[in-house]
Structure 1
Amino acid sequence: MFRKIAAAVSAAILSVSLASCSMTEKSVTEVVNNTEVPPKMLFLGDSIAAGYGLEGYTADDNYHCRSYSNILREKYNEELRGKCGHTMVNKAVSGATSSDLIGQIQSGQLDSDLADCDAVVISIGGNDLLGIMLDLFNSMGISESGSFNKDNFDFFSAASMFLSINSDVDKALDQFELNIKTIAEELDRRTEGTVYIQTLYDPLEYYSKFKRVTDFSNEKIGRLNEIITENSACGYKVIDIAADFEGKAGSLTNIADLDIHPNAKGHEVIAEDVDAAFRATGFTYTTTVYGDRQLSSEGRIAIGGIIAAIAFLAVVGAALLVRKKKE
């Protein structure tokens, strides 16, 4: 009897030894880490965000020019190296209006990027105004991309035309206000990341001698920026690019060459503004920390069983010894 019990216990100990890996486990802890910049950021909107006009930019490639998104990508790749890493996605489309952006979001093509991004940065609105003016502008040498042909452009005619389409522009601004709310709502359904919308700078301030033109653009672009700011309660933060470009259109845009887009220096300023907005917000990322190997619940049960068996064997053995002495 004693030998049979001893053999059973020995077999149990051997099986435990063979299954030792399954009987132990490492403790796993999820640690939340703070970072000033987003591990993943997504850029949406128009030609400003796409980097139109910069060296290396093409209509189907937003990643090989020194736009503000690419400046920040380079900066954050270095800053987050060895930590969580960094990802930048730029789905901005040159010429896009706020209605186009709504369509892009609602199409679902951005869903995967929105689902796991930490920050969404949007430049939108300029083309909502330009769209109304395109037919008039084309006859004056202005292309749909927003660049100008200086040989054909007549600022005095432009001043008169701006005033004649005042009502149409106001209707466009009313629609933009509805669209900005829709954009915020659509993004809120698709991302837990922080959404930022940039204000629009006024490149036509450069032509201060043409007061009708500058007054018109100042009023209409000013109203667009008010709409962006006043509706931020819909769920986004405002990055006030316009404030840092004010009075500097000549040095931060290509307007001196009759192109309304930011130049390389302008993109550096926008990058600084976006970076400051990110750092004012703060972000987090999660890492998994593994502790020392320890017994699993199955292991504790198995070892407990062996201890009980050994104790039982000791009791039986003692009883047999007592019995043997009596005999």
Structure 2
Amino acid sequence: MRIITTLLCVSLFFIGSLLAPQPIHARESEQLVAIGDSIPYGYNLTKDNTLPSGGAFPYIIGNEADLEVTNLGVPGLTSAELLAAVRSNDKFRSTLKDADYVVVNIGGNDLLNLLKENKGLKGINMEEVALVVRDLIFNVYSTIIELERLTQGEILVYNIYNPYPEAGDKLDTPLSYINTQYSSLIELLSHFTNVKLVNAYQSFRGHPEYIIKGDVHPTRQGQNVLARLGLKHIKD
């Protein structure tokens, strides 16, 4: 009889635990993953540059939108190197898989490397620019397609601002060409992927104060501008 009573008590306890209200666990923070070059890294916002800067725009977005941020920006990264990382780097792939938002900022080094090869703006010509743009657009396209396979998250792609505002109109033609191609690509991909274009180029025009003097990287003010642009798309 004692055994039967014990079993009855256990059964009633088990049934009661199923019927009792369960504690509601707060949902984990949504994830933002930043990939690209030294701009999302926040290069030269700190002296040593050993770690991504907390003043970089992905962290500002994270603070404003209550997102957990993982910054995979790599100073000096090109579009071809980013594509390779998204395709085969285990850390990139495992992190991106759980992202709710992916911020992509790439292409500046493709252009800067061309300028270095031609020893500045004077030696540059549109034929060489066209070859760089062809490869850049292909790499960005392939990166977005790979991201679409990896994650259900929203993809925000920043275009390229003028890194040399003191050059005046000399870079306007190649940059306008590059960003027109960027815009067309994102417009096409938006029909079958979850991607949006963030227009850094337009927002930085006429604002040399957004770029560190004697450098090509955004100031803290510039990083805040990049963050506000991204937040508009996240809040839409």
Q: TM-score range by the shorter chain?
A: 0.7 to 0.9
Residue in 2 that maps onto 1:222:
176
Q: Contact 2:115/2:121 (CA < 8 Å) preserved in 1? A: no
Residue in 1 that maps onto 2:94:
112
1:20-58 alpha-carbon deviations (Å, 9 max, x no partner): 22233146699998xxxx721000011111111112561
Once residues 6 and 136 of structure 2 are traced to their aligned partners in structure 1, the CA distance between those partners, rounded to angstroms, is 75
How many matched pairs? Answer: 227
- Cα displacement (A) at 1:267: 0.6
- Which amino acid letter does the alignment assign opposite residue 108 of structure 2? G
Residue in 2 that maps onto 1:265:
221
- Which amino acid letter does the alignment assign opposite residue 71 of structure 1? I
- Cα displacement (A) at 1:192: 0.6
Residue in 1 that maps onto 2:197:
238
Once residues 152 and 100 of structure 2 are traced to their aligned partners in structure 1, the CA distance between those partners, rounded to angstroms, is 7
Q: Would the alpha carbon gap of residues 169 and 190 (structure 1) be closer, same or farther in structure 2, given more than 3 Å must change? A: same
Tell me, yes or no, if structure 1 residue 61 matches structure 2 residue 51. yes
Q: Contact 1:56/1:65 (CA < 8 Å) preserved in 2? A: no
Q: Contact 1:199/1:240 (CA < 8 Å) preserved in 2? A: yes
- Which amino acid letter does the alignment assign opposite residue 252 of structure 1? Y
Unaligned regions of 5+ residues in structure 1, if any? 1-6, 81-85, 138-157, 209-213, 281-327
TM-score normalised according to structure 1 size: 0.63
Question: How is 1:122-137 mapped onto 2 (pairs within 5 angstroms)?
Answer: 122-137=104-119
Tell me, yes or no, if structure 1 residue 161 matches structure 2 residue 161. no
- Cα displacement (A) at 1:133: 2.8
Unaligned regions of 5+ residues in structure 2, if any? none
SS in 1 for 2:12: coil
Tell me, yes or no, if structure 1 residue 188 matches structure 2 residue 177. no
Once residues 25 and 64 of structure 2 are traced to their aligned partners in structure 1, the CA distance between those partners, rounded to angstroms, is 25
The structure showing larger relative contact order (alpha-carbon pairs under 8 Å, at least 6 residues apart) is 1
Q: Work out the percentage of aligned pairs sharing the same amino acid.
A: 21
- Which amino acid letter does the alignment assign opposite residue 54 of structure 1? L
Residue in 2 that maps onto 1:247:
206
Residue in 2 that maps onto 1:46:
37
Q: Contact 1:205/1:218 (CA < 8 Å) preserved in 2? A: no
- Which amino acid letter does the alignment assign opposite residue 14 of structure 2? S
- Which amino acid letter does the alignment assign opposite residue 116 of structure 2? L
- Which amino acid letter does the alignment assign opposite residue 15 of structure 2? M
Question: How is 1:1-327 mapped onto 2 (pairs within 5 angstroms)?
Answer: 12=4, 14-24=6-16, 25-26=18-19, 39-55=30-46, 58=49, 60-62=50-52, 64-76=53-65, 80=66, 86-109=67-90, 110-137=92-119, 158-163=120-125, 166-208=126-168, 214-215=169-170, 217-232=171-186, 233-234=188-189, 235=193, 236-248=195-207, 250-254=208-212, 257-280=213-236
- Cα displacement (A) at 1:160: 2.8
Q: Would the alpha carbon gap of residues 11 and 103 (structure 1) be closer, same or farther in structure 2, given more than 3 Å must change? A: closer
Q: Contact 1:115/1:190 (CA < 8 Å) preserved in 2? A: yes
Pair member with larger Rg: 1
1:59-110 alpha-carbon deviations (Å, 9 max, x no partner): x411x4411122223334xxx4xxxxx4100001111111010011111321
User: Structure 1 residues 193-202 or 103-112, which shifts more?
Assistant: 103-112
Q: Would the alpha carbon gap of residues 230 and 32 (structure 1) be closer, same or farther in structure 2, given more than 3 Å must change? A: farther
TM-score normalised according to structure 2 size: 0.85
1:280-320 alpha-carbon deviations (Å, 9 max, x no partner): 1xxxxxxxxxxxxxxxxxxxxxxxxxxxxxxxxxxxxxxxx
Once residues 115 and 218 of structure 1 are traced to their aligned partners in structure 2, the CA distance between those partners, rounded to angstroms, is 37
Q: Contact 2:32/2:103 (CA < 8 Å) preserved in 1? A: yes
SS in 2 for 1:55: coil
1:252-271 alpha-carbon deviations (Å, 9 max, x no partner): 112xx321211111111111
